[in-house]
Amino acid sequence: MTMKAFKRYFVIALAGFGLALSAAAQDSSSSAVRRRTSDDRSRAGRTATGGAQVSERMQSRFEEQGVSDADMQWMRVIYRQLDLTKEKNAALYYPEDIIDGDENLFRIIMRLLADNQISAYEYLDGREIFSDQYRIKVREMLDRFQILYSDAKGSTEKNPRFAIDESDVPTNEVLSYYIIERWIVDSRTNTMKTEVEAICPVLHRSGDFGGEAVKYPMFWIRMSDLRPYLATQYVFTDDDNNLPRYTYGDFFSMNMYDGEIYKTRNLRNKSMNQLYTDADDLKRAQDSIQHRLDTYTDKMWVPSREEIIAAREAREALEAQSAAAGDSIAVRQDAAVKENSTRSTRSSRSAKKPSKAKAPKVKKESKPKTSSSSVARSVRRRKG
């Protein structure tokens, strides 16, 4: 066999080996990739009425975001009240009606509850238990708060669904929310994390004869169940910029709300109003708790050399400033003392010396003038 024929056979064999490898790769990829059937698609996601689609993978992603108990170094549970009349919380209240597909937080919650997309739990006045035993029945809740409804199409006993007219949703009466915060120090990163664990809408209703509105907490909803739906709804947070940049999920995860602390988890299960009856004591306690939460991580880090030098220089400057202020005050005090002593000395001297009063001038009586001639004449007469 010539060299030329050997080269030709070698090239043909090499080409055949390459074709065999490519065919094997195609067979393996075709066996690994499978088209999704309609059952898979229905199992992977569900569409809320009028809302965005949330898949099981998206739901599990939000559920796995929390920090496990093994990674917690410190934790405190805080209860807050969000007053929707405050400017920072107005994004949860407006728009009252659905405008261009935008709806407020309470409408989203009621829509998801009516469509049986999320679960709600009883409000137990500080004892929050998120278990099947305390899961509310939506029909009973709607009857309790006198919200008109009708059975939706396709509703069954195991999967009850309800249709609520937009005008029957009491959005104008939900003027506040209760939320449960978890302040957690993650031991892996030594950072403080804030998580909103649950949220409770509160109805403000007045009686038939008016008067002050009474608050009715409706139910608790776990934020992990609600968060995937909130991540698809954008809200306006600033009147200066009409472009919505944040979602409801960002609003809570970034602590963009303004909430007053009304309770902390404690052994006696008492609220702040029960522990502090005086209004000033209550405000000081709330400020103290907030300050501790904000500054807790400051003591977890060892300061650098530059930070130590800067702190020392600032302290020395403050001491020098206070010393200079003290010296000036002492000088002014000494001057004031000397001036007061001088005034007192002058006043004492003036009191000791009697005043020299000038006596009135007395006119001397003028003696009658006698002339020498008359005297001489009288003498002469006596002689003669």
Q: Which residues contact 296 (CB under 8 A, 6 or more apart)?
A: 74, 183, 185, 192
Task: Give how far the C-alpha of residue 170 lies from the chain's centroid of Cα atoms, to the nearest Å.
Answer: 27
The domain ranges of the chain are: 48-300
Task: Give how far the C-alpha of residue 370 lies from the chain's centroid of Cα atoms, to the nearest Å.
Answer: 119
Q: Are strands 210-217 and 221-222 parallel, antiparallel or unpaired?
A: unpaired
Amino acid at 331: V
Q: Are 98 and 114 in contact (CB under 8 A)?
A: no
The two structure tokens encoding residue 74: 């410190």
pLDDT tens digits in sequence order for the chain, 384 residues long: 565 566 566 656 666 665 555 555 454 444 333 444 434 433 343 343 455 555 555 555 555 455 566 677 789 999 999 999 999 999 999 999 988 888 999 999 999 999 999 999 999 876 788 999 999 999 999 999 999 999 999 899 899 999 999 999 999 999 999 999 999 988 777 788 899 999 999 999 987 776 789 999 999 999 999 999 999 889 888 888 888 889 999 999 999 999 999 999 998 889 999 999 999 999 999 999 999 999 888 777 777 888 889 989 999 999 998 888 877 776 677 777 767 766 666 666 555 555 555 555 555 555 555 444 444 444 444 444
Q: Tell which residue, 112, 26, 249, has the closest CA to residue 120.
A: 112
Amino acid at 214: V
The two structure tokens encoding residue 32: 């690994």
Q: Are 98 and 201 in contact (CB under 8 A)?
A: no
E strands present in the chain: 45-47, 53-55, 72-83, 150-151, 162-163, 174-186, 191-207, 210-217, 221-222, 234-235, 246-247, 259-264
Q: Which residues contact 187 (CB under 8 A, 6 or more apart)?
A: 71, 72, 73
